[in-house]
Chains A and B, each alone.
Chain A
Amino acid sequence: MLKSPEDLIALQERVKAENNGKIILSLCSGTGCRANASQKVFEALQAELASLADPRIVLKQTGCHGFCEKGPILIIYPEEICYVSVKPFDARDIVAQTIAQGRVLDRLLWKSGLITAAHHSEIPFYKHQTRYLLANNTHVDPTSIEDYLRCNGYSALRRALFSMTPQDVIQEIKRSGLRGRGGGGFPTGVKWEATREAEGNEKYVVVNGDEGDPGAYMDRSVLEGTPHSVLEGLIIGAYAIGAKSGYFYIRQEYPLALENTRKAIEEARAFGLIGANILGSSFGFEVSVHQGAGAFVSGESSALLSAIEGRVGEPRLKYIRMSTSGLWGKPTTLNNVETWANVPLIIANGPEWFAGIGTPGSKGSKIFSLVGKVENTGLVEVPMGTTLRKIIYDIGGGIKNGKKFKAIQTGGPSGGCIPEAHLDAQVDFDTLTELGSMMGSGGMIVMNEDSCMVDVARYFVEFLREESCGKCIPCREGISEMVSIFNRIVRGEGKPEDLDFLEDLSVLVSEASLCGLGSSAANPVMSTLRYFRNEYESHILHKTCTSLVCKAFIAFHVDAAKCRGCGLCKKQCPVNAIYGEKTEAHVINQKMCIKCGACMEICPSKFNAIGKVSPVSQLQNLAP
């Protein structure tokens, strides 16, 4: 139990001293790597290390390291040797060679062409990033508060409680220029100030951990990897605002984030960092975790508060600001996970430090989850204002398999698709909005020439239809109608006037909907109509899908000159649509073909005899 700021400093010093000269094996154990047998790697390493029985060696499971493409990742400190795609059977060599004899295992290092990187910081994926929020993820055990204290954890809280007034804290957050990371981009300090100045003694602070965007997982990784940084930010916020209690709202699909957050709260309470008279000050704070019940719309602020209150997670009219009337009608500040995690950094390093990073309108760094058709998928933290090109090519390593870039979708399902012409755009709140997309929570999905933009828009609109709560008419019926139109278009039944109707529906849904889900739901449609209208037109007018995706417009065929009649495709075809004798060129019966693509996949690459064409009428031009 820490009873004074001096106690905290003493404990931090003790933990640091204890860890001096230790060899730390830090194994990525985020959700992604766990699915990749990271737990087995851990057990194997544990078993091997037992034989050395060296107390200087510490093996720990950390949060997500971010380079998910190459997980599980093991970093050995202090040298920072980085092993990628580690398998359980590698444990023996790692311990026997690297740990016992200091020999680096070449086969486990990251390689690309002729370049090999032995150290974490030399890998281009990491080298071009600027990591503040994710810095602890590669070496701190999220289930140990002492490990967080080793990295000066809770020093920002100490500074806030003992050398700043609540107003000072708010002023620093305002000066830093921090804007909400959940998507809205509202200035955090202004929000806090309004809540502080609102009437009433009972106030709340809430963490929005309902990250529901497909392909986005930065909040999950922050909660899994450094739950204490979010908690510390929340306690500082509560002190600044004058709140005595707070909530973590975390979606139920994140069991590890829930577990680590609960553990962090428990430990913080045991150490006297939550509860009455924190570190001996007059400030007291209580916090609990609310597990979401699985609805995308619950990430919307008013719906989220309804859910915590025990009601259906559904948006309400919120023309009275939450800072005046939020949770149970009391003044409330709701911030995203990443926003809260920024707070200790700002208080510890000063607002000028934070304001020095980024662009005039968007300060600090932002975590993006880079997924899709890039070489290096994973979590990317860069200063605001970094160009899309740098994120995709320098960090992401470019497009997979040498394909051509087509678009990047930012901001989750209700974001927009940005084409190649804007790759040099700076990523910040305002630029993305101007381009018809949005920052959102920071999802980035890269698409290549094989992605049909009509199909992509259809996918996102369908997702939003499933997730619309149905309370207001435009969102419920408008999005559903959009899905019907998209289905017609990809079936080959689209009409030219459908594009006008889609545009009208976009206006309806974005102008008239009740909450943010509806008002941003048209973004994928509007941005693809803006940048890729030609694809819509070729679907409707020419029954052609240039990306060869939409089944109604494509046909598979066998190139008789290349086919050796191996019979693999014939065997693979689920509807027996392929015929031909052994060693003779095979033929696809177009009437029977269901266009599943199984034949194309199985055809040996040395033959590469099966192709796709669009429109279907192209088949006639092929020989014979």
Chain B
Amino acid sequence: MDISITINGKKVSGKKDETVLDAAASIGIEIPTLCHLKGLSPYGGCRLCLVELISGKRSQLVASCGYYLKEGLVVETDSPRVKRARALVLELLIAAMPGSQEIQRYARQYKVTSTRYKRNLDHCVLCGLCVRYCEEIKKENCLGFVGRGVDREVAWAPLSKYKDTCEGCMECQKFCPTGVFPSNWGIAQNTLAR
């Protein structure tokens, strides 16, 4: 049975295993995403896909990539609150990966022209696409996260023996939004070859 919800004042219907992000896409509303890929489990790490969920006088921001449809949802994808949150996330992201076309396009869309972050942010934004792809699609688990907080990073498991576990399909690399993984991969391969 179809579930009907309201997005930006428009009625949309969908199935219960569909997310708000899917429903918005079905009527041509673009919601920016970075860590989302159709076919992989929702992750909710990049926070770009935040939308405002309205219930009466109260509202909350939720990640649309992981919010499944429920009858009667009222969603705003472009409210001032959403715009402000996305712009703040984008200010961080343009400092993290200034070279990304996708991020630059989103930044322009949300009028983020400069960044106040002075630190040299690691170019990997830990979106986890490569990790989830290897785990969920390839069923290999050659990649994983290590460390906590600012020390978190993606690692081959175990790095020194990645050749034993990883067949080298390189498929994980094509989703990397920063380009940092393909270059690291090359470096690691060269190091191990020596």
Footprint of B on A, CB under 8 Å? 295, 312, 316-317, 319-320, 465-474, 476-478, 480-481, 484, 501, 504-505, 507-508, 511-514
| Closest Cβ–Cβ distance, residue B67 to chain A (whole Å) | 5
CB within 8 A of B96: which of A295, A467, A472, A477?
A477
CA of A95 to CA of B11, assembled, Å:
81
**When the two chains form their complex, are residues A472 and B93 in contact, meaning their CB atoms are under 8 A apart?**
no
CA of A563 to CA of B111, assembled, Å:
63
Given contacts A317-B43, A473-B93, 10 further A-B contacts (CB under 8 A): A319-B66, A319-B67, A465-B149, A472-B45, A474-B88, A477-B150, A508-B88, A508-B89, A512-B85, A512-B88
**When the two chains form their complex, are residues B61 and A480 in contact, meaning their CB atoms are under 8 A apart?**
no
Instruction: For B89, give the chain A residue with the smallest CB separation.
Output: A512
Q: Does B186 contact A (CB under 8 A)?
A: no
CB within 8 A of B119: which of A295, A473, A484, A513?
A484
**When the two chains form their complex, are residues A481 and B119 in contact, meaning their CB atoms are under 8 A apart?**
yes
CB within 8 A of B151: which of A320, A470, A481?
A470
Q: Chain A residues with Cβ under 8 A from B92's Cβ?
A: 473-474, 477-478, 481, 508
**When the two chains form their complex, are residues A319 and B85 in contact, meaning their CB atoms are under 8 A apart?**
no
Q: Does B185 contact A (CB under 8 A)?
A: no
**When the two chains form their complex, are residues A507 and B47 in contact, meaning their CB atoms are under 8 A apart?**
no
| Closest Cβ–Cβ distance, residue A255 to chain B (whole Å) | 23
Q: What are the 3 tightest A-B residue pairs by CB atom distance, in nearest-first order?
A: A470-B152, A317-B66, A508-B88
Where chain A touches its partner, the secondary structure class is helix
**When the two chains form their complex, are residues A473 and B149 in contact, meaning their CB atoms are under 8 A apart?**
no
| Max count, chain A CB within 10 A of own CB: residue among B63, B147, B149 | B149
| Closest Cβ–Cβ distance, residue A465 to chain B (whole Å) | 6
**Number of B interface residues in the complex (CB < 8 A):** 36
A-B contact pairs, 17 of them (CB 8 A): A312-B145, A319-B66, A320-B68, A468-B148, A468-B150, A469-B148, A470-B126, A470-B149, A473-B92, A478-B92, A480-B149, A480-B150, A484-B118, A504-B88, A505-B88, A508-B89, A512-B47
Q: Does B42 contact A (CB under 8 A)?
A: yes
Instruction: For B126, give the chain A residue with the smallest CB separation.
Output: A470
**When the two chains form their complex, are residues B121 and A477 in contact, meaning their CB atoms are under 8 A apart?**
yes
**When the two chains form their complex, are residues B119 and A514 in contact, meaning their CB atoms are under 8 A apart?**
no
CA of A470 to CA of B125, assembled, Å:
10
**When the two chains form their complex, are residues A476 and B89 in contact, meaning their CB atoms are under 8 A apart?**
no
Q: Chain A residues with Cβ under 8 A from B46's Cβ?
A: 472-473
CA of A466 to CA of B63, assembled, Å:
24
CA of A468 to CA of B85, assembled, Å:
20
| Closest Cβ–Cβ distance, residue B147 to chain A (whole Å) | 7
| Closest Cβ–Cβ distance, residue B123 to chain A (whole Å) | 13
Known contacts A473-B89, A484-B119, A511-B85; A467/B66 CB under 8 A: no
Known contacts A484-B119, A512-B47; A470/B150 CB under 8 A: yes
Known contacts A474-B89, A512-B85; A469/B61 CB under 8 A: no
Q: Chain A residues with Cβ under 8 A from B44's Cβ?
A: 316-317, 472, 514
Q: Chain B residues with Cβ under 8 A from A504's Cβ?
A: 88
CA of A481 to CA of B117, assembled, Å:
8
CA of A466 to CA of B149, assembled, Å:
7
Q: Does B12 contact A (CB under 8 A)?
A: no
Q: Does B62 contact A (CB under 8 A)?
A: yes
Which of chain B's residues 16-60 have a Cβ closer than 8 Å to chain A?
42-47, 50
CB within 8 A of B45: which of A467, A473, A481, A511?
A473
| Closest Cβ–Cβ distance, residue A433 to chain B (whole Å) | 14
| Max count, chain A CB within 10 A of own CB: residue among B44, B85, B118 | B44
**When the two chains form their complex, are residues B149 and A476 in contact, meaning their CB atoms are under 8 A apart?**
yes
Q: Chain A residues with Cβ under 8 A from B151's Cβ?
A: 470
Instruction: For B121, give the chain A residue with the smallest CB separation.
Output: A477
Q: Chain B residues with Cβ under 8 A from A465's Cβ?
A: 149-150
Q: Chain B residues with Cβ under 8 A from A513's Cβ?
A: 47
CA of A329 to CA of B118, assembled, Å:
42
Instruction: For A474, give the chain B residue with the smallest CB separation.
Output: B47
CA of A480 to CA of B89, assembled, Å:
14
Instruction: For A297, give the chain B residue with the smallest CB separation.
Output: B148
CA of A508 to CA of B45, assembled, Å:
14
**When the two chains form their complex, are residues A317 and B152 in contact, meaning their CB atoms are under 8 A apart?**
no
CA of A467 to CA of B96, assembled, Å:
21
| Closest Cβ–Cβ distance, residue B38 to chain A (whole Å) | 16
CA of A295 to CA of B148, assembled, Å:
9
CA of A591 to CA of B61, assembled, Å:
52
Q: Chain B residues with Cβ under 8 A from A511's Cβ?
A: 50, 61, 81, 84-85, 88
> What sequence of 0s and 1s flags, for each residue 122-158 of chain B, a beta carbon within 8 Å of any chain A beta carbon?
0001100000000000000000010111111000000
CA of A513 to CA of B63, assembled, Å:
10
| Closest Cβ–Cβ distance, residue A150 to chain B (whole Å) | 45
Known contacts A465-B150, A473-B125, A481-B117; A514/B84 CB under 8 A: no
Instruction: For A470, give the chain B residue with the smallest CB separation.
Output: B152
Q: Chain B residues with Cβ under 8 A from A480's Cβ?
A: 119, 149-150
Q: Does B116 contact A (CB under 8 A)?
A: yes
**When the two chains form their complex, are residues A467 and B85 in contact, meaning their CB atoms are under 8 A apart?**
no
| Closest Cβ–Cβ distance, residue A243 to chain B (whole Å) | 25
CA of A474 to CA of B43, assembled, Å:
14
Q: Chain A residues with Cβ under 8 A from B45's Cβ?
A: 471-473, 514
CA of A599 to CA of B90, assembled, Å:
50
CA of A469 to CA of B62, assembled, Å:
19
CA of A471 to CA of B42, assembled, Å:
13
| Closest Cβ–Cβ distance, residue B91 to chain A (whole Å) | 8
| Closest Cβ–Cβ distance, residue A89 to chain B (whole Å) | 46
| Max count, chain A CB within 10 A of own CB: residue among B46, B62, B65, B150 | B150
Q: Chain B residues with Cβ under 8 A from A316's Cβ?
A: 44
Q: Chain A residues with Cβ under 8 A from B68's Cβ?
A: 319-320
> What sequence of 0s and 1s flags, for each residue 90-107 of chain B, a beta carbon within 8 Å of any chain A beta carbon?
001100100000000000
CB within 8 A of A469: which of B66, B93, B152?
B152
Q: Chain A residues with Cβ under 8 A from B81's Cβ?
A: 511
Instruction: For A481, give the chain B residue with the smallest CB separation.
Output: B117
Q: Chain A residues with Cβ under 8 A from B96's Cβ?
A: 473, 477
Q: Chain B residues with Cβ under 8 A from A319's Cβ?
A: 62, 66-68
Instruction: For B88, give the chain A residue with the smallest CB separation.
Output: A508
Instruction: For B122, give the chain A residue with the smallest CB separation.
Output: A477
| Closest Cβ–Cβ distance, residue B188 to chain A (whole Å) | 21
Q: Chain B residues with Cβ under 8 A from A478's Cβ?
A: 92
> What sequence of 0s and 1s flags, for each residue 148-179 of chain B, a beta carbon within 8 Å of any chain A beta carbon?
11111000000000000000000000000000
| Closest Cβ–Cβ distance, residue B75 to chain A (whole Å) | 13
| Closest Cβ–Cβ distance, residue B145 to chain A (whole Å) | 7
**When the two chains form their complex, are residues A501 and B88 in contact, meaning their CB atoms are under 8 A apart?**
no
Instruction: For A518, give the chain B residue with the smallest CB separation.
Output: B47
Q: Chain B residues with Cβ under 8 A from A317's Cβ?
A: 42-44, 63, 65-67
| Closest Cβ–Cβ distance, residue B97 to chain A (whole Å) | 11
CB within 8 A of B50: which of A468, A471, A512?
A512
CA of A545 to CA of B81, assembled, Å:
36
Q: Chain A residues with Cβ under 8 A from B125's Cβ?
A: 473
Q: Chain B residues with Cβ under 8 A from A473's Cβ?
A: 45-47, 89, 92-93, 96, 125-126
